[in-house]
Amino acid sequence: MQPLILHHYDGSPFSEKLRLIFGFKGLAWLSVKIPVIMPKPDVIALTGGYRKTPIAQVGADVYCDTALIARLIEQRAPTPSLFPHGAPLAPVLAQWADSTLFWTVIPYTMQPAGVAQVFKGVPPEVLKAFAADRAPFTATMRRQTVPDATAALTGYLADLEAQLADGRPYFLGTAASIADFSIAHCLWYVRRGGPVADILQPHARLAAWTDRMLAMGHGTPQPLSSADALAMAAAGTPVATAVQEGLGFEAGQAVTLCATDYGTDPVAGVLVGLSHHEAVLRRTDERAGTVHVHFPRAGYQIRQEQT
pTM of the model: 0.97
- Burial of 161 by CB count in 10 Å (0-12 exposed, 13-18 middle, 19+ buried)? middle
Question: What pLDDT score does 66 carry?
Answer: 98
Topology annotation, domain 5-80+221-304 = Glutaredoxin (3.40.30)
Bridge partner residues of 143 (DSSP): none
Over the chain (307 residues), what is each successive 10-residue block's mean pLDDT?
A: 97 98 98 96 97 97 98 98 96 98 98 96 92 88 95 98 98 98 98 98 98 98 98 98 97 97 95 98 98 97 87
Question: What pLDDT score does 139 carry?
Answer: 86
Question: What pLDDT score does 306 carry?
Answer: 76
Phi, then psi, of 222 in degrees rounded to 5: -125, 130
Specify the 3-state DSSP secondary structure of 76: helix
Say if residues 34 and 265 touch (Cβ distance below 8 Å): no
Say if residues 280 and 299 touch (Cβ distance below 8 Å): no
For the chain, the structural domain boundaries read 5-80+221-304, 90-214
Question: What pLDDT score does 8 carry?
Answer: 98
Say if residues 68 and 295 touch (Cβ distance below 8 Å): yes
Give the orientation angle of helix 178-191 with respect to helix 66-76, to 10 degrees. 130
Question: What pLDDT score does 167 carry?
Answer: 97
The sheet that has 267-274: what strands, in order across it?
220-223, 28-33, 5-8, 55-58, 61-64, 289-296, 278-285, 267-274, 254-259, 300-304
Assigned CATH for 90-214: 1.20.1050.10
Say if residues 160 and 183 touch (Cβ distance below 8 Å): yes
Question: What pLDDT score does 307 carry?
Answer: 62
Bridge partner residues of 290 (DSSP): 284
